[in-house]
Structure 1
Amino acid sequence: MNEVEIGLIDSNFNWEICIVGLALTIFTLVNIASKKVKHSSDILLCVWLVLLNVPLIHMCLVHFNLHIPLLHKYTNPTLNLLHGPLLYLYVRKLTSMRVHLSKLTALHMVPFILTYILFISFSHPQPMTPMPENPEMQMGPVGNNWVFTLFQPLLVHFALINGLSFISYGALTFYLLAKHQTKIEGFFSQKNNQITLSWIYALPTILVLVVVANFINEEVLVTANRINPQTLHMISFVSIITILCFFGVKQKPVFYRQQTASSVPEENQKTPTAATDNQGLPVSEAVMKEVIEKMQTYMLNKKPYLDPEFSVYSLADAIDVPRRILSTVLNRGLCKNFYQYVTEFRVEEMKSLLGKRENQQKNILDLAFECGFKSKSSFNGLFKQHTGTTPSQYRQAMSEAQVKSV
């Protein structure tokens, strides 16, 4: 197979990849536009999807032998410096309890803005498409401006800067997600994909893998065995697009339901009479005892834990205690978080159901769902953690005990 044929196959393959990415994006954008309630994270997702499709659009133009200089100039490869910050800001939007992010987050855009201005200020004898790793890249002069002369190496070493950006923001995103896993245990009684955001781990992983794959492909492999760099980039972009389209379209900010669950702001909710510190947190043992008693009474009488969506805000509303105080009582008074607190009630409820004769023939998983558990894996692990035995073993032991008592 000659070199021309190889190039033709790569070109066709890239074209097919681009069609998949563009089709998924159009479908997702229409889906988001039709939502009755749109969140700021949805808007950010749309912006990111459009940017991810820029190199795909360029590839489609190449496929049809269309060359639009102005489009290449203003939708240039420096846009890739936005992917890392957009990933970070998207995760911040999903995990933050604040409606608006700090103005300092705009600083994440500074490297892109600087590089973008430099790029469009230089003349480019050869367009950098779809990525600026082209070893034959050349840049024309921009006059005698010493500023541009000073910063010209930024474009020459753009591939390195872009790779470092991917790795840095990938690591930062992993850090945010790790903090989020700890945080949600104080608010939710369940852990599902939309709460843990486990699907997002794939995004920074892909960004880092792109850097590693490029390095291996260009520095390690011999020329004859190298993959077309454009194909690598198209696959990586479409992979991210696919994940965002499948999961992102259904994803709400994690604390959105909690922000809207209570019609009464926390600062206006009734608080048990007690001395408080400057953050409004209780410091009296009497207050902790009072709140714990109200919690226990409500949990035992109403059994709200049977609802899989039961949250700390639901409990706070029910017993008329601000969420901050409730969380403090759980952490300081009971030495546990909300997730652990509710799990104990669910396990005890499950033990009660397994001990009843009329439930001996019922499916254990069905009983678990009745108790408020939402997944088989988490239920089995939590039940064994609290009882030291599996649900099946526990039911068998209870059945044998009942037979002996007869």
Structure 2
Amino acid sequence: MSSPNPILTTIIFIFAAQAIILGILLLAKRPRSQSQIFLSLLIFFFALMALNIALVNVLSSYNMMDTFRYVQLELLYGIGPALYFYTKSITDNDFKFSKKDLIHFVPLLLEFIFYRTAFYRLGADGLYQTQPHPYTKFYLAEQWLGILSITIYSIISLLVLFRYQIWLKQRFSNLENKSLHWLKAPIIIYSVFWIGWMVLTEIDRFVFDRDLRDAYFLPTFVGLAIVTYWIGFKGYLKARTETSGYSSKKNISEDNIHNPAWAEKITEVMESQKPYLDSELDLTKLSKLVNLNPKQVSHTINRSFSKNFYEYVNSYRVEAFKQLAAKPENKKLTLLGLAFDCGFKSKSTFNDVFKKTTGTTPSEYVNQLKKESEKKQSVAS
């Protein structure tokens, strides 16, 4: 066990307690959704872990660990399912948690029972003894299986999130408040945290005889407590984020027939009516303009232009920006102002799309235009 540190321990207590409060507020928020329930569970599991670490370090200095082991909880096996079902709930309109899904939480129940046995109490204490207790191997096996559970569920959650991102780009030209990018960070952080933690502790145990424990133990859990508070705060603000009609169910479509005339019709509307100047343009709006259904438009854009809807519409916006930037009367206008005039909705999206489309940043492109203009003027004079 690491040496008690009043400052770090206090930080852990504060952020972990605030995270639990945010979890309670999420449950109290109306109307309550299943995504709020799972996010609240996720926050609770991680905050409980951080609180346990802080308590262990305080009570160990008073030789009270024998008593504390009877009530200590480290609910590793609830983290993965809570993260997965939260991701499913916030991305998939059709997902409803059912009784059969409770099977994912059976390992959590078994873990709870395990913590009430001598296998845990003696095994956990034996980890810090010169001669490990025979039960320590059972404790380590339980811990590693918990890390494996978190990692597997984290990977699955990322795959669900990536599928959602792909779906968005087939239907929307701007992804602000829809992409759930903020959710990627905690998924990755939580997965990497536990893998790194177990590897680090094992290296410390076998190579350095636990001499490094004071340097990394409490600081690591300070970071965990802060991240848990952050995801709780962010999740509370995003609790009512809509999933934009996404469904993981596959619909059998008879509209995937390739028709070159549809591509010509879409191109004609895009060039004549310039609907891409509308920052809220989505697949449904464009489909009404070309008198086709959304599946036909989406399939045509994918097949005829080798782009998804997001890439297709924004390619027109990039060209519109280049035309405006080339006009002398627009030199005094900001690049972001011109981008908004072309249908972009945020600076980050504009910069990202422009760089991917042209291979240069907007400022580099405009500077190149200026150099070419100055060169022409120099030759003319």
User: TM-score scaled by structure 2?
Assistant: 0.74
| Match in the other structure for 1:157 | 141
| Match in the other structure for 1:199 | 185
| Match in the other structure for 1:15 | 10
| Match in the other structure for 1:282 | 255
Aligned runs of 1:206-355 on 2, under 5 Å? 206-227=193-214, 231=218, 234-235=221-222, 237-251=224-238, 256-258=243-245, 279-286=252-259, 289-290=261-262, 292=263, 295-296=266-267, 298-300=269-271, 302-316=273-287, 321-355=292-326
Letter in 2 for 1:17: I
Distance 1:103 1:193, change over 3 A: same
Aligned positions, number: 366
Query: Which is bigger in relative contact order (C-alpha 8 A, separation at least 6)?
Result: 2
Whether the 8 Å CA contact 1:354–1:398 is kept in 2: the answer is: no
Aligned runs of 1:40-59 on 2, under 5 Å? 40-58=34-52
Q: Which runs of 5+ in 1 are unaligned?
A: 141-151, 261-277
Give the deviation of 1:244 after TM superposition: 0.8
| Match in the other structure for 1:184 | 168
| SS in structure 2 at match of 1:222 | coil
Distance 1:223 1:257, change over 3 A: closer
Distance 1:366 1:297, change over 3 A: same
Give the deviation of 1:247 after TM superposition: 2.9
Distance 1:251 1:392, change over 3 A: same
| SS in structure 1 at match of 2:244 | helix
Quick one: which of 91, 96, 102 aligns to 1:100? 96
Quick one: which of 79, 91, 101 aligns to 1:83? 79
Whether the 8 Å CA contact 1:170–1:207 is kept in 2: the answer is: no
Give the deviation of 1:363 after TM superposition: 1.3
Give the deviation of 1:322 after TM superposition: 4.1
Distance 1:310 1:294, change over 3 A: same
Distance 1:299 1:208, change over 3 A: farther
User: TM-score scaled by structure 1?
Assistant: 0.70
Whether the 8 Å CA contact 1:44–1:90 is kept in 2: the answer is: yes
Query: Aligned partners of 1:21, 1:255: CA distance in 2, in Å?
Result: 28
Letter in 2 for 1:373: F
| SS in structure 1 at match of 2:173 | coil
Letter in 2 for 1:331: N
Letter in 2 for 1:100: K
| SS in structure 2 at match of 1:195 | coil
Letter in 2 for 1:161: L
Q: Which runs of 5+ in 2 are unaligned?
A: none
Query: Aligned partners of 1:133, 1:166: CA distance in 2, in Å?
Result: 25
Whether the 8 Å CA contact 2:172–2:282 is kept in 1: the answer is: yes
Letter in 1 for 2:329: E
Quote the sequence identity (%): 23
Letter in 1 for 2:283: V
Letter in 2 for 1:42: Q
